[in-house]
Amino acid sequence: MTREPVSDPAPDEALSPDDAALFAMLEHYMSSLHQGDLLSRSVMIDGNPALAKWMRYLELLDRLAPDRTAVDAASSERVPAVTEMTPQPFGKYQLLEEIGRGGMGVVYRAHQTDLDRSVALKMILSSRLASPDDVRRFYAEARAAGSLRHPNIVGIHEAGEVHGQHFFAMDFIEGRSLAQELAGGPFDPGRAAECVAAVARAVQYLHEHHMIHRDLKPSNILLAPDGTPYVTDFGLAKTLGGNSVHTQSGLIVGTIGYMSPEQATGHAPAHSPLSDIYSLGAILFELLTGRPPFQNASPIDTLLEVIEGEPPRPRQLNRHIPIALELVCLRCLEKDPRRRYPSAAALVADLEHFLRGEPLDVTPAGVVHRVLRWARREPTLAMHLGAILVCALIVQIKYMISGYDLPYHLVVMFLFGAWAGVALMCQFLLRRSGEKNGPRYLWAFADAYLLTVMLYIADDPLGPLLIGYPLLIVASGLFFRVRLVTFMTVACLMAYGMLVLVGRDPVVKPQYTLLYTAALAVIGLVCGYQAYRVRVLSGYFEGRGTRSDGETAANAAPTIARREG
C-alpha cells in the first residue's frame, strides 16, 4: 500500500479536548464490542444519543472483520461487573445495581419506569448466547417460568431484548437466599420443616404444570424478610409434556451436592419429579444440620458419594433433631427413586403431620434396608467385616468337619476377631478425627500387618493365601489416592519380604519369589496409575464444577466490583 504523508498530523499535535473525549468513549466501546458485551452499548447510547452514529460505524466495521476466533471468544468471558452504579437506562427499566450472577447471566435490581415497581432483571451474558440453542434455552426458561403463579415462586413478567441484549424481568424479592441464611447456622427443626414444606408446595405446583426444577438448592431459594421462601432460577427446568430438545441427553445438570443420584449418573431418562424430591431432602438435611448431605473436598468424591454413598444420619450430626424429621429427610434421600415420597405433596403432608405433632405416613425402614444403608454409609468397614466373616466361616466349617487342634483354631478365630476389632476402631477414628489421612494409613498398615501375622501361623503350603497382598493393594485403590496405594504396596512388599526372611515362604525357586515380588510392585503401579488418572479427570471436573457450585443465583450477595470507565 502506498503511503502519502498528506494527512499525517504534525507529531506534537494533540487531539482537541472534544475529540479526546469522543476518542475515549469510542475506544471504550470498541473494547466492549470486542468482548461481545452488548449491554454497555445500550447503556452508552441511552446516556448520549449523539454517540449512536459513531458506534454504528464501529459496529459495521467490526462486522466486516474476519470472523472471531476462539481466542476472541474466550476473552469475551470478561463481562464488567456493575454494582453500585448510577442508574442506567435499559429500555423501560432503570438498572440500579448488580445483585448476582448465575451460569446463564447477570441479575440486576432495576426499576420499571412505566409501572413504577422494582424488578429483578436477568441478563443473559452475550458470550453465553454463542449459539441459537442458548437463545432458545433462554426463552424456554422464560416461557416455562412466565406461565407460573404461586405464592412461593418468583414470578416472571416479561422476556425480550433491548439493543440485542436478551433479558427477562421477574419479581424482585427483597431478602437473602437460603444459602446466605444458612451461613448463620442450621435452622431449628420447626422452622426447617415449615420452610421445606413451603418450597415443596411450590415444587408440587411446578410438577402439576409438568415442570421439573432440576436445580433446587439453597442458593436458588430466596427468603423474603417475613421468612416466606421463593423458588427461583428455572434455568434447567425441563418441560415434561412438550419437546425437550433443549436439554442434551445425558448432560449432567444441577449442582453436585444437591442433585439426585440418577441425575449424577447422567441418565437423562431417569430424571423425574422424584429427582426434585431428592433435592428437597438435601435442602432439609442442610437446614437441619448446617451442611449438605455429601461434602467433600473434590467434586469427584462428592459425585461418587451421591451415586453410591449414604448420607450420615442427621441425628448423628445434631442430636436435637426429632426422629420424625430424620425419617422424612432420609426418605427423600433414598437412592432408589421408588423408595422416596411419591410426590412433593406427600412430602408436604408428612411435614405438616410433623408440625402438628401427628404420626407420620412414613414408616421406619426394614432391617434389611437398614443394613444396606449402613453398608453404603460405611463401605470400608462393611467390606472388612464381610470379608472377615466369610473367611472365619470357612475356617469354622473346616474345623467342624475335621475337629482337629482346638488351641490353634482358637488362635485363628481370635485373630479374626482382633482384625474386626481393629477395623471398628479405625472406622471410629476415621469418623471422629477431622483429618482422614492418619486413620486411613493406620488402617492400611494394620491390614497388611494382620494379614502377615495370619500367614505366619497358617499351615503350609502358603501358596494360594498369598493372594491376600494383591487383594489389599487393589482394595486400597478404591480410595483413588495415589499415596495410599503406594503406602499399601510398600507395606505389602515389606511384609512379604519378612515372611521370606523368616522362612515362612521358603525359597524353593528364587525366580518364583522374585516374580511374585515384581508382580506385587506392578499391581501397585497399575492401581496407583488408575488412581492418578481419576484424579486428573477429577481436576478437570473441578475446573468445570466450580462454576456450577460457586454460582450465585438471583439476589445473591452483591459482588464488590466497580464498573470500569
Partner 1 sequence: MNQTSTNDSDAFPVDPLVPLLERARQGDRDARNELFEHCRAYVSLIARAQVGSWLQAKVDHSDLVQQSLLEAHRALDQFRGTTDGEWLAWLKQIVHHNAADFVRRYGMAQRRKAGREVSLDAPRNNDSSGPTRDPSDPGQTPSQIVLRSEEQMEISRAVGQLPPDYQEVIILRNLERLPFDEIAERMGRSRPAVQMLWMRALKKLHESLEP
Q: How far is the CB of 170 from partner 1 (least distance, A)?
A: 12
DSSP 8-class letter at 126 = G
Closest to partner 1 by CB, 159 or 304: 159
Kindly tell me the burial class for residue 53, based on how many C-beta atoms sit within 10 Å of its own C-beta (0-12, 13-18, 19 or more).
Answer: exposed
C-alpha cell at 34: 470486542
Residue count of the chain: 565
Closest to partner 1 by CB, 7 or 248: 7
Residue type present at position 553: A
Q: How far is the CB of 152 from partner 1 (least distance, A)?
A: 20
DSSP letters along 508-525, please? SSHHHHHHHHHHHHHHHH
Q: How far is the CB of 561 from partner 1 (least distance, A)?
A: 23
φ and ψ at residue 119, rounded to 5 degrees: -135, 165
CB 239 within 8 A of CB 249: no
Closest to partner 1 by CB, 54 or 374: 54
Closest to partner 1 by CB, 148 or 202: 148
Closest to partner 1 by CB, 19 or 564: 19
> Whole-angstrom Cα distance, residue 55 to residue 45?
8
φ and ψ at residue 234, rounded to 5 degrees: -90, 25
Closest to partner 1 by CB, 61 or 371: 61
Half-sphere CA count of 557, side-chain side, radius 13 A: 9
Q: How far is the CB of 191 from partner 1 (least distance, A)?
A: 35
Q: How far is the CB of 59 from partner 1 (least distance, A)?
A: 6
Closest to partner 1 by CB, 26 or 383: 26
Kindly tell me the burial class for residue 395, based on how many C-beta atoms sit within 10 Å of its own C-beta (0-12, 13-18, 19 or more).
Answer: middle
CB 122 within 8 A of CB 105: yes
Q: How far is the CB of 433 from partner 1 (least distance, A)?
A: 52
For 196, residues 6+ apart whose C-beta sits below 8 A from its C-beta are 280, 283, 284, 287, 347, 351
Closest to partner 1 by CB, 242 or 550: 242
Q: How far is the CB of 206 from partner 1 (least distance, A)?
A: 17
C-alpha dihedral sign at 24, 29, 31, 37: positive
Q: By three-state DSSP, how is residue 52 classified?
A: helix
Q: How far is the CB of 172 from partner 1 (least distance, A)?
A: 18
Q: How far is the CB of 302 from partner 1 (least distance, A)?
A: 34
Closest to partner 1 by CB, 6 or 508: 6
> Whole-angstrom Cα distance, residue 254 to residue 260?
9
DSSP 8-class letter at 205 = H
Kindly tell me the burial class for residue 294, based on how many C-beta atoms sit within 10 Å of its own C-beta (0-12, 13-18, 19 or more).
Answer: buried
Closest to partner 1 by CB, 44 or 534: 44
- Count Cβ atoms below 10 Å from residue 549 Cβ, excluding itself: 15
> Whole-angstrom Cα distance, residue 229 to residue 457?
65
CB 347 within 8 A of CB 341: yes
CB 156 within 8 A of CB 146: yes
Q: How far is the CB of 166 from partner 1 (least distance, A)?
A: 7
Q: Give the per-residue SS3 of 357-396.
A: CCCCCCCCCCHHHHHHHHHHHCHHHHHHHHHHHHHHHHHH
Q: How far is the CB of 64 from partner 1 (least distance, A)?
A: 5
Q: How far is the CB of 90 from partner 1 (least distance, A)?
A: 10
Closest to partner 1 by CB, 20 or 561: 20
C-alpha cell at 512: 518364583
Residues in touch with partner 1 (CB under 8 A): 1-4, 6-9, 11, 13-15, 19, 22-23, 26, 30, 34, 36, 38, 41, 52-54, 56-67, 91, 124, 126, 129-132, 135, 139, 142-143, 146-147, 156, 158-166
CB 145 within 8 A of CB 234: yes
Cα distances from 280 to residues 119, 204, 343, in angstroms, run 27, 11, 11
Q: How far is the CB of 263 from partner 1 (least distance, A)?
A: 28
Closest to partner 1 by CB, 154 or 199: 154
Closest to partner 1 by CB, 15 or 397: 15
